[in-house]
Amino acid sequence: MDAASSPVVLVTGAAKRIGAAIARHLHANGYAIVLHYRGSEAEAVALRDALEAARSNSTLLLQADLADPDAPEALVARTIERFGRLDGLVNNASAFFPTPIGKTTPAQWQSLFDANVRAPFFLAQAAAPHLRASQGAIVNITDIYGERPLRVHSAYCMSKAALVMMTKSLALELAPDIRVNAVAPGAILWPERDSVDAARQAAIVARTPLARTGTPQDIAEAVHWLLASARFTTGEILHIDGGRLLDG
């Protein structure tokens, strides 16, 4: 598939972890990828170079802080300037940190809602005209904790709950031309910050019916299915959690 005919997907937070796995998987399946990153420049450049080595002129690397209100429109505009089309948006970039009641600051609240709610909404709004033209799709990366609480993370859980409702609301608003779905991971990768100790990791796995953690590839495959194959699916939250929500 040549660059001119490749479907184009913008993946936010694509430099590492789950975002990088999504970008690699979509690229391997013929997509041109717009790789957004905020601060992980070395990882983003390395990923861009690896994808370009596999297929030239198939990527665009864009740096932006999604807390900047102008970032969503700028990212979409630069995507269209480079590729002339947009077929998919993956809202993967996220903020995650504890917010104990009594110690949570307005700045922490704002940081979580900027990354997890405001940026995905305004990216979707900016992308919508182009996705409508391509009959494209949006996939939001939510969290099982958008549907059940996690202790000491109230603001995070609330922000992901808002993203769940955004998924359903935009699916209604943007139909029939644009499908909007979400992937809600369970235990895939442990947090880089505020590390989960070995005992808590073991307890989480013990409450997962499939008795293991998932992999970033599991999420990437789900995102690909929602973008490319789920032609009669919109407004759905696909739980990739090993059955963990079943155990409360």
145 noted as active-site residue? no
Distances (CA, A) of 52 to 71, 180, 227: 25, 29, 22
In this structure, what token pair is assigned to residue 13?
């937070």
Report which of 12, 58, 53 is spatially closest to residue 223, judged by C-alpha positions: 12
- Select which of 31, 37, 145, 156 is catalytic: 156
Give every CB contact of residue 36 below 8 A, 6+ residues apart in sequence: 10, 11, 12, 13, 14, 62, 63, 64, 75, 93
17-28 helix and 216-228 helix, angle to the nearest 10 degrees:
50
Cα dist from 110 to 30, 95, 99, 113, 147, whole Å: 37, 11, 12, 5, 20
Total residues found in the chain within this entry: 248
Where in the sequence numbering do the catalytic residues fall? 156
